[in-house]
Amino acid sequence: MVLALPQRLQTERLVLRRHRRDDAPAIAEALADWEVARWLARLPIPYTLPDAVSWIRTATRNWNQATDYQFVVAETDDDRLVGHMGVRIEPGGTEGEFGYWFDRQVWGRGYASEAGHEILRFAFDELGLQRVTAVVLPDNERSARVVLKLGLTPDGYRRQRFDPIDATVDAPVYAITRRQWQDLQAG
Ligand SMILES: CC(C)(COP(=O)(O)OP(=O)(O)OC[C@H]1O[C@@H](n2cnc3c(N)ncnc32)[C@H](O)[C@@H]1OP(=O)(O)O)[C@@H](O)C(=O)NCCC(=O)NCCS
């Protein structure tokens, strides 16, 4: 059992925090953008405000049940929601799957890389996971770039359903082990 987990993480420009009910409109707006939604695995399309409200309930319950730790990513200056990132615990409890999206307005500022570094630290240092994976659609070059920059490496393929594009795909898996993460931090 994981004790005294931080409820809020901080990076240079971003705060990663738990959901609040008033996050729903910003989540609904960001995920109504097909350029964001089309890369995600499990998402109702079209994505509406009630979907966001229901997601916040689910995310809160999952966190409390220690099965999935999803954070809102907000800019530190004004707490504006700009994205979403987290790690879902795999059955067995030693591995996690990393997932994220950012509002298109903020792409290209290095936010996913900055938040991702902190989520990996959370996954290994706070949750004590042994391995973290990410499943990325084959043509999602931006996302592949983010995971490679964070130190994940290609680790085969997983046949996975992607609801928004209504397809089941052999998607590339990227992975990093606890040892690899520690070696990277040691420089
Ligand atoms: C993938 C995503 C999270 C990246 O967010 P971001 O904050 O823009 O990411 P960063 O700025 O940290 O890094 C993006 C990297 O991709 C690179 N990039 C941008 N456009 C690219 C393109 N068309 N092809 C390849 N690389 C590209 C950037 O140059 C940058 O790499 P660099 O730092 O080496 O220059 C964001 O685009 C997004 O939300 N996409 C939709 C949802 C999604 O794909 N989620 C992940 C599912 S696995």
Q: pLDDT tens-digit profile of 60-113? A: 999 999 999 999 999 999 999 999 999 999 999 999 999 999 999 999 999 999
Residue 99 lies in domain: 8-186
Residue 2 falls within a domain, yes or no? no
The string of DSSP codes covering 116-129 is HHHHHHIIIIIS--
Q: Which of 29, 142, 149, 161 most suits a substitution to test ligand 1, by most atoms within 8 Å of the C-beta? A: 142
pTM of the model: 0.97
Residue 86 falls within a domain, yes or no? yes
Confidence (pLDDT) at 4:
84
CATH number for the domain that contains residue 170: 3.40.630.30
Residue 29 falls within a domain, yes or no? yes
Residue 180 falls within a domain, yes or no? yes
Confidence (pLDDT) at 3:
61
Structure tokens at 53: 């409200």
Structure tokens at 106: 């903020």
**Whole-angstrom Cα distance, residue 89 to residue 86?**
10
C-alpha of residue 160 to centroid of ligand 1, in Å: 21
Domains of the chain: total: 1
- Measured by CA distance, the residue closest to atom 2 of ligand 1 is 143
Confidence (pLDDT) at 63:
97
Residue 118 falls within a domain, yes or no? yes
C-alpha of residue 108 to centroid of ligand 1, in Å: 6
